[in-house]
Structure 1
Amino acid sequence: MICKGVEVLSPLANGFCFGEGPRWFEGLLWFSDMLGEAVHTVTLHGAMTTVALPGHAPSGLGFSPDGSLLIVSTQKRAVLRYDGDAVTTVADLSATAPADLGDMVIDDVGRAYVGSQAFEGGVIVRVDPDGSSTVVADDLAFPNGMVITPDRATLIVAESIGRRLTAFSVTPDGSLTDRRVFADGLDGPPDGICLDADGGVWAAMTLAHQFERITEGGTVTERIDIGDRAAIACMLGGPQRRTLFLVSAADAYPKRLVGTKRSRVDTTTVEISGAGLP
């Protein structure tokens, strides 16, 4: 299939260091500024607010059933909770995770699936609402963005070093089974991902400088070229969940960007609405 290009991008937010983990919740886009030690929100009109997280490098975000925000603290290997007032630690994964943490997805009962980003031997850790943790998938090549399908039966994870999307069946007790390839041999390392109502996965193809919509089996149906910028993460939200939020950076390697403010969020409108979690 010849893939379509999405032509019109609209700038929404800039002036932060390294955006990650975008989530659409209650009419706002929420995203981490990993190097800026903060979480930002932005309205569809571009108005921003900031939650400062001194001493933390936040990445994955998600919302508990009670509406509180869970935040992955990458280097401290912990999951934090922000209740609108204070930040507390939900789970310390330093004894469980073999490498720094990355992205996260939360299911309807509040179980958080968190990736530990080892280049080899990466794992997904499930953090239950009581704060206990269990490794539910292993031997992953740098697990990154994750989504859960609308029927809550499948979790898809981006393996960045493996250049593939991998699917697992989600059992009623929250275990991950039946590992299988959703798409392989991708154009670049996939980073953040989101899912649409037709089962297509939008993926930030970091070193390929583009965002792609990928269907099961690996067909790319749409591409969004962003020039020399690194594609970091994406999220479907806004009216009818047809606004695709695109987070990009001036460089794919965060350590090169310390002290800069060249990350940004752009938007475009797509035909197929978002679905599933997050």
Structure 2
Amino acid sequence: MTAVEVAVRAHAALGEGPTWDARAGRLVWVDILGSRIHTYDPASGRRTVLATEQHVGAAKPRAGGGLVVNLRDGVGLYGPAGPGDFGTGPEGASEAAGSGAAAPAGGSFRWLHREPVPGRRANDAAVAPDGSLWCGTMRYDEAPGGGTLSRIAPDGTVRPILDDVSVSNGTGWSPDGSRVYYIDSPTRRIDVFDIGDDRLPVGRRPFATVDDGFPDGLTVDAEGGVWVALWDGGAVRRYAPDGTLDRVLELPVRRPTACAFGGADLTDLYITTARTGLTAPHPMSGSLLVVPGAGKGLPQPEFAG
């Protein structure tokens, strides 16, 4: 069994999207179905929670402070929080009950791109090296082809990338930015694209196939290794740049959802987990886990909008 620790004891229904916010020295993650944005500072132990009235698929740091969020009805922006400012958001976001701390974003909220589609929600998202947001959607019923993957420029311009996705999930770039990895979970594949001159993906092809569980969120390390959380697989796997499996971190939970390197030196692997759909979840299910010293991550770009 992997030497895994509990970073934040929680009961998230669908924890997702861990991202290290280097500017603030904290990890940002979400509970999609709980409509919560969480932050955790491992140096001080300080935690914050922001409640939203829409399901939130991802929350990523912005270059000017605050967060860009992939919400049910589109992509929005939270401005930096001021002292005592818990902020407002779509349909009246507020500080989560019992968090005991200021919200992680706060300040003002505005929609950057709003496109509500009945029966569809946001899912995972990632910031590209050029500062754009690649955001995914999916149907609540997970209908094949009902989701999308789009690129949102800092000015809100939308460029469709894929329009026939089932469950849009992990996205990450190679260290040199020349390739992007992507997961549509029901395919049980991690795919890879080349990045063209227009910064959009071309040449989609399989990178690796999963035979135990479903690939969910991913992160890329400093050596180009691709780390993938396996929903219903109870593990995180690392694939070498040539696609060969070279490491497996067995976990005590059945449904890890995503992973990201964090900490001051980017060597600790944080893993979000889920309780949803489990009749007898492990006590750690829904918590934020960490594997200290698991590898060496890459600094994550901030959204430029």
Q: Same fold per TM (> 0.5)? A: yes
Query: Counterpart of 1:120?
Result: 144
Report the secondary structure of 1:39's partner residue.
strand
Answering whether residue 254 of structure 2 is matched by residue 229 of structure 1, we say yes
Contact in 2 for aligned 1:23/1:31 (Cα 8 Å): yes
Query: Counterpart of 2:33?
Result: 35
Displaced runs of 4 or more, over 3 A: 138-141
Query: Counterpart of 1:58?
Result: 56
| Aligned-partner Cα distance in 1 for 2:129–2:252 | 37
Give the total of aligned pairs. Answer: 265
Identity within the alignment, % = 25
RMSD over aligned CA atoms reads: 2.6
Distance 1:61 1:169, change over 3 A: farther
Q: Pick one of 114, 117, 120 that aligns with 1:92.
A: 114
| Aligned-partner Cα distance in 2 for 1:162–1:234 | 20
Contact in 2 for aligned 1:200/1:214 (Cα 8 Å): yes
Answering whether residue 267 of structure 2 is matched by residue 242 of structure 1, we say yes
Q: Pick one of 199, 202, 220 that aligns with 1:177.
A: 202
| Aligned-partner Cα distance in 2 for 1:64–1:173 | 23
Give CA-to-partner distance per residue, 1:48-88, whole Å, 9 cap, x none: 112222x1111222233333311111x32x11111121222
Report the secondary structure of 1:161's partner residue.
helix
Structure 2 residue identity aligned to 1:30? V
Deviation for aligned residue 1:232: 1.1
Answering whether residue 286 of structure 2 is matched by residue 263 of structure 1, we say yes
Query: Counterpart of 1:11?
Result: 6
| Aligned-partner Cα distance in 2 for 1:218–1:152 | 17
Distance 1:268 1:227, change over 3 A: closer
Query: Counterpart of 2:78?
Result: 82
| Aligned-partner Cα distance in 1 for 2:198–2:61 | 20
Report the secondary structure of 2:265's partner residue.
helix
Contact in 2 for aligned 1:202/1:214 (Cα 8 Å): yes
Report the secondary structure of 2:9's partner residue.
strand
Contact in 1 for aligned 2:253/2:273 (Cα 8 Å): no
Q: Pick one of 102, 105, 125 that aligns with 2:123.
A: 102
Distance 1:68 1:115, change over 3 A: same
| Aligned-partner Cα distance in 1 for 2:167–2:32 | 17
Query: Counterpart of 2:174?
Result: 149
**Mean alpha-carbon deviation: is it higher for 22-31 or for 151-160?**
151-160
Q: Pick one of 25, 41, 44 that aligns with 2:42.
A: 44
Answering whether residue 190 of structure 2 is matched by residue 190 of structure 1, we say no
Deviation for aligned residue 1:19: 1.4
Distance 1:183 1:233, change over 3 A: same
Given the two structures, how large is their TM-score scaled by the length of structure 2? 0.78
Contact in 2 for aligned 1:198/1:272 (Cα 8 Å): no
| Aligned-partner Cα distance in 1 for 2:208–2:179 | 14
| Aligned-partner Cα distance in 2 for 1:48–1:64 | 19
Answering whether residue 235 of structure 2 is matched by residue 210 of structure 1, we say yes
Give 5+ residue unaligned stretches, structure 2. 81-106
Deviation for aligned residue 1:165: 0.6
Contact in 1 for aligned 2:30/2:38 (Cα 8 Å): yes
Distance 1:167 1:189, change over 3 A: same
Contact in 1 for aligned 2:219/2:226 (Cα 8 Å): yes
When you count strand as a share of all residues, which structure comes out higher? Answer: 1
Structure 1 residue identity aligned to 2:6? P
Give CA-to-partner distance per residue, 1:236-266, whole Å, 9 cap, x none: 1113211000111234x49x89xxx951011
Contact in 1 for aligned 2:234/2:252 (Cα 8 Å): yes
Contact in 2 for aligned 1:184/1:217 (Cα 8 Å): no
Deviation for aligned residue 1:103: 0.9
Contact in 2 for aligned 1:204/1:232 (Cα 8 Å): yes
